Amino acid sequence: MVDSESGKSYQNPVPFEVADGSIWLLHTSQTAGKGQADAQVLRVTSNDGGQHWSKPKVLFTEPGSYIRQPIVVGDHGELLLPFYYSTSSGITAGADTNYSSVKISNDMGSSWTECKVPQSEGLVQMDIIQVPGAGYLALFRSRYADHIYRSDSSDGCHWAVPRPTALPNNNASIQAVRLTNGDLVLAFDNAAGVSKQRIPQTGPRFPLSVALSKDVGKHWVAVRDLEVGPEAKPLKTNNSLDEYSYPSIRQLPNGRILVAYTYRRQAIKSAVFDETWIEQGDTRGAYRPPKQ
C-alpha cells in the first residue's frame, strides 16, 4: 500500500527516481464521486526501493491540478513536470476550459515555478520529449478527440502554440519515447471522435497502436496495432471490453521497446518488440502512413 484515504479517489501515479536513489511517487487526489475540478497533486517518497513509503504531502493545491506524464530532467538539471488543470468535472462537458502548463524546479522539488502553454485550452496530458541540441517537443491529448497536438520549446518554459499533427486522438492518453538512435515511438489509440465539430467528445479506445517517426515527430512513417479491438459494428465506445488505453512506453537496456497499457479495464498488459516490428506496419486505425 502506497497511499489511501477514505472518501478520496486517486489517479495517474507518476514515479521519479532521484539521483540519490530515493523514489518519488506523485499522484492526483480528488473527492470520490465529485469529478476532477477539486483535484490536488500529492507526493509520497521511499528510501528503500519502494518497500516503505512516507506519509503523503500535498505538492500542488490549485483546484483541478492534474498530472499524467513523467518528469523530465532538463539540460541544466532542472525538473520539468508536465501539468494540466482539469477545470471541469469530467473529460467532455466543459473540458474545453482545461489547459496545460509546465511546473519547473531548480532545487530538486523544494520550490516550483509555472509556465503556461499558450492557447492550450482543451489540450492536456502534455508529454515532453527532450531533443538533444534542439530543446523539447511536447505532444498533447485533445479533449476535442480530433488530433494529437504538438508544441516545441527551446528552454522548457516558453512554448509555441500547439498545432495538430496528422495523428488522430480520441480524448485518451498517449505517451512517446525517444530511442537511443534518435527515432521517436508513440503509443496511442489510432482513433478519433465521431463528430466533426470541435467540441469536447470521446472516441473509441482502440486500436491501440505504435507509430514511428524518423524526424522527431514531423512525419510518421509506420504504424502497427498492438490491440485491434472488436470486429463487430457499430463500435461500442462505452464498453470496457473494447478498451485498450493509457499506454506507457520505454526503451529497455537491450534496445527493445516495452509498452504497458490498460487491458479492458481488467488488467495491465505489456508487450515487448523491436523497432523493426513497427516498420513492417499493419493498422486498422484512422491514420495510415502515406506509401513511400
DSSP character string of 113-152:
EEEEPTT-TTEEEEEEEEETTTEEEEEEEETTSSEEEEEE
**Which parts of the chain are beta strand (E)?**
8-17, 23-31, 40-46, 57-60, 65-66, 72-73, 79-85, 99-105, 113-116, 123-131, 135-142, 147-153, 163-168, 175-178, 184-189, 208-213, 222-227, 244-251, 257-263, 267-273
Three cell numbers, residue 246: 493509457
Is omega for the bond preceding 82 within 30 degrees of 0, making it cis? no
| Structural domain contains residue 289 | no
Q: How confident is the model at residue 239 (pLDDT cuts 50, 70, 90)?
A: low
In this predicted structure, the answer to whether residue 234 has a pLDDT above a threshold of 50 is no
Q: Which of 14, 44, 66 is the last residue of a domain?
A: 66
| Structural domain contains residue 286 | no
Which of 85, 103, 102 minimizes the C-alpha distance to 94?
Answer: 85
| From 34-43, 116-125, 240-249, the region with the lowest mean pLDDT | 240-249
User: Are the CB atoms for 62 and 53 separated by under 8 Å?
Assistant: no
Q: What mean pLDDT comes out for the span 87-95? A: 96
Claim to verify: residue 49 and residue 186 sit in the same structural domain: no
Q: What mean pLDDT comes out for the span 105-125? A: 97
Number of domains observed in the structure of the chain: 2
For 172-196, the DSSP string reads: S--EEEE-TTS-EEEEEE----S--
Claim to verify: residue 49 and residue 126 sit in the same structural domain: no
Claim to verify: residue 29 and residue 101 sit in the same structural domain: no
Claim to verify: residue 143 and residue 78 sit in the same structural domain: yes
Q: How far does Cα 175 stand from its chain's mean position? A: 5
Question: What pLDDT is attached to residue 114?
Answer: 98
Alpha-carbon span 117 to 260, nearest angstrom: 28
Q: How confident is the model at residue 82 (pLDDT cuts 50, 70, 90)?
A: very high
Which of 72, 154, 159, 157 minimizes the C-alpha distance to 123?
Answer: 159
Q: Which of 10, 45, 66 is the last residue of a domain?
A: 66
Claim to verify: residue 59 and residue 118 sit in the same structural domain: no
Claim to verify: residue 39 and residue 143 sit in the same structural domain: no
Question: What pLDDT is attached to residue 12?
Answer: 97
The residue segments making up the domain with residue 38 are: 1-66
Q: What mean pLDDT comes out for the span 107-114? A: 97
In this predicted structure, the answer to whether residue 106 has a pLDDT above a threshold of 60 is yes
In this predicted structure, the answer to whether residue 235 has a pLDDT above a threshold of 80 is no
Question: What pLDDT is attached to residue 242?
Answer: 85
Q: What mean pLDDT comes out for the span 15-36? A: 95
Q: How confident is the model at residue 292 (pLDDT cuts 50, 70, 90)?
A: low
Per-residue pLDDT of 165-213, as tens digits, reads 999 999 999 999 999 999 999 999 999 999 999 999 999 999 999 999 9
pTM of this prediction exceeds 0.75: yes
| From 84-93, 204-213, 235-244, the region with the lowest mean pLDDT | 235-244
Q: Which of 44, 66, 88 is the last residue of a domain?
A: 66
Q: What mean pLDDT comes out for the span 23-43? A: 96
Q: What mean pLDDT comes out for the span 8-14? A: 96
Question: Which residue in this structure is represented by grid cell 489509440?
Answer: 189
Claim to verify: residue 105 and residue 207 sit in the same structural domain: yes
CATH number at residue 218: 2.120.10.10
Claim to verify: residue 77 and residue 115 sit in the same structural domain: yes
Q: How confident is the model at residue 231 (pLDDT cuts 50, 70, 90)?
A: low
Q: Any idea what DSSP says for residue 276?
A: H
Question: What pLDDT is attached to residue 237?
Answer: 53
| Structural domain contains residue 287 | no
Claim to verify: residue 9 and residue 135 sit in the same structural domain: no
Question: What pLDDT is attached to residue 91?
Answer: 97
Claim to verify: residue 201 and residue 220 sit in the same structural domain: yes
Question: What pLDDT is attached to residue 233?
Answer: 47
Share of the chain above pLDDT 70, in %: 97
Question: What pLDDT is attached to residue 232?
Answer: 43
Claim to verify: residue 86 and residue 35 sit in the same structural domain: no
Claim to verify: residue 160 and residue 238 sit in the same structural domain: yes
